[in-house]
């Protein structure tokens, strides 16, 4: 590494810092230059101001609660169904082989196109958002378990059988710990896509939640607020992801006690 400044800031951080500044300048520049119709890209600090106003408003926290509820329930459903189905298909090798390709191919489809079915089945409010969130998150979770199950050392199973372990014991004491690593990454990914699916559902048709706020601002042509809420949503998604990471890392420590 070349020696740089007196404060010994690494070149990496320098570049990152300069990039952020450049980005803000570019934003302000585009906004004020008249290149694009001025209302379309509001000045950076206007957007910042709107974010502050948003976070201080009473409405925002109500909508935040709705979004968090939908994401939470959706992820819970995805995890429950995904893990159960994943374990079943992982253990019953035959059925696993039958269904895995189907699951893999369905996983590639953009889930949001199923949203109208969710609306018709579960209504206009949180139900349809929970459903699309669960549908989105289900696939990474179930696939991760299938992958984990496939990598499972058959010796573990032989050992379990030689101990005359019941199916339940086999599931719990042998499979579960062994696939935990895959499960954790699957849960992480699953939460990520559940978040996306839920917000997209809110944007498409809802009357509450942060996604609803975003599209509402769009319809009202309140673009500074729209940019603002989108930034807030990104921050929230990042936070949720980071939180999940911490929770999983904590559980990861216990994994070792289970498998050794």
Partner 1 sequence: MEQRFWGKIAAFGFLFLFISETLLAQELKTVRVTVGQRGNWDTTMAFVTGEKLGFFAQEGIKLDIFFTRGGAETLQPVSTGNADFGWANGTFGVLGAYEKGARIKIVSANYTGSDAFWYVKADSPYKNFKDLAGKKVGFSSPGSSTHLVLLRLAEITQTKVEAVPIGGIPENYTAVMTGQIAAGWSVPPQRLAESKQGTIRIVARGFDYPELEKVTLRVNIGNADFLKKNLGLAKAFFRAYKRAMDYNYAHLKEVLPEFAKMNKTPLEIAEEALKFFPPKALALSPVRGLDYQVEKALEFGFLKKKLDRKQLEDLVDLSYLPQ
Partner 2 sequence: MNLKKHHVIAVRGLTVFLFFLVLEIAVAKGTINPLIIARPTAMILSLYGNIVQGEIPKLFLTTMTEVSAAFGLAALIGFLLGYFLWRYEYLGLAYETLLGALFASPLVLVYPIFLVIFGRSPAAVVAMGTLAGFIPITLGVRDGLAQVNRTFIRVGKSLNLSNRAIFWRIQLPAATPTIFSGLRLGFTYTLVNVIGVEFLAEIGGLGKLVSAAYFRFQIDTMYGGILTIIILTGIFIYLTYRIQGKVK
User: Given the rule CB under 8 A, which of 34-42, 52-60, 69-77, 98-106 is the region that contacts partner 1?
Assistant: 34-42
DSSP string computed for 19-69 = HHHHHHHHHHHHHHHSSS-TTTS--HHHHHHHHHHHHHSHHHHHHHHHHHH
> Where in 92-121 is the site for partner 1 (CB under 8 A)?
119-120
Provide, rounded to whole angstroms, the least separation between the CB of residue 213 and partner 1.
13
Query: Is the CB of 22 or the CB of 117 nearer to partner 1?
Result: 117
Out of 97, 123, 166, 249, point to the residue binding partner 2 (CB under 8 A): 97
By CB under 8 A, residue 196 contacts partner 2: yes
The SS3 of residue 43 is: coil
By CB under 8 A, residue 85 contacts partner 2: no
What distance in Å separates the CA atoms of residue 111 and residue 197, rounded to the nearest whole number? 8
Backbone angles phi, psi at 228, to 5 degrees: -60, -50
Query: Is the CB of 43 or the CB of 127 nearer to partner 1?
Result: 127
Within 10 angstroms of residue 121's Cβ, the number of other Cβ atoms is 10
* Joined tokens for residue 117: 């079915």
Provide, rounded to whole angstroms, the least separation between the CB of residue 20 and partner 2.
10
Out of 94, 105, 168, 221, point to the residue binding partner 1 (CB under 8 A): 221
By CB under 8 A, residue 151 contacts partner 1: no
Q: Are 115 and 201 in contact (CB under 8 A)?
A: yes
């Amino acid at each position: 590494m070349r020696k740089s400044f007196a404060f010994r800031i690494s070149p990496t951080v320098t570049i990152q810092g300069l990039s952020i500044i450049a980005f803000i300048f570019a934003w302000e520049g585009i906004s004020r230059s008249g290149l694009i119709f001025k209302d379309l890209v509001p000045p950076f600090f206007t957007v910042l101001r709107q974010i502050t106003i948003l976070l201080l408003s009473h409405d925002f926290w109500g909508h935040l609660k709705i979004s968090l509820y939908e994401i939470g329930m959706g992820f819970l459903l995805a995890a429950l169904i995904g893990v159960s189905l994943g374990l079943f298909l992982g253990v019953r090798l035959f059925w696993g082989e039958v269904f895995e390709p189907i699951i893999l191919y369905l996983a590639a489809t953009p889930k949001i196109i199923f949203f109208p079915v969710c609306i018709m089945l579960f209504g206009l409010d949180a139900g349809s958002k929970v459903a699309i969130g669960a549908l989105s998150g289900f696939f990474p979770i179930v696939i991760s378990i299938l992958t984990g199950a496939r990598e499972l050392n058959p010796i573990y199973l032989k050992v379990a059988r030689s101990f005359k372990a019941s199916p339940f014991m086999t599931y719990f004491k042998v499979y579960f710990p062994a696939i935990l690593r895959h499960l954790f990454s699957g849960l992480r990914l699953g939460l990520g896509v559940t978040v996306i699916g839920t917000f997209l559902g809110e944007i498409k048709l809802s009357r509450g939640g942060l996604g609803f706020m975003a599209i509402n601002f769009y319809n009202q042509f309140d673009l500074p607020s729209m940019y603002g809420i989108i930034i807030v949503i990104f921050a929230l998604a990042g936070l949720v992801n980071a939180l999940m990471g911490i929770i999983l890392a904590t559980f990861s420590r216990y994994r070792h006690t289970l498998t050794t």
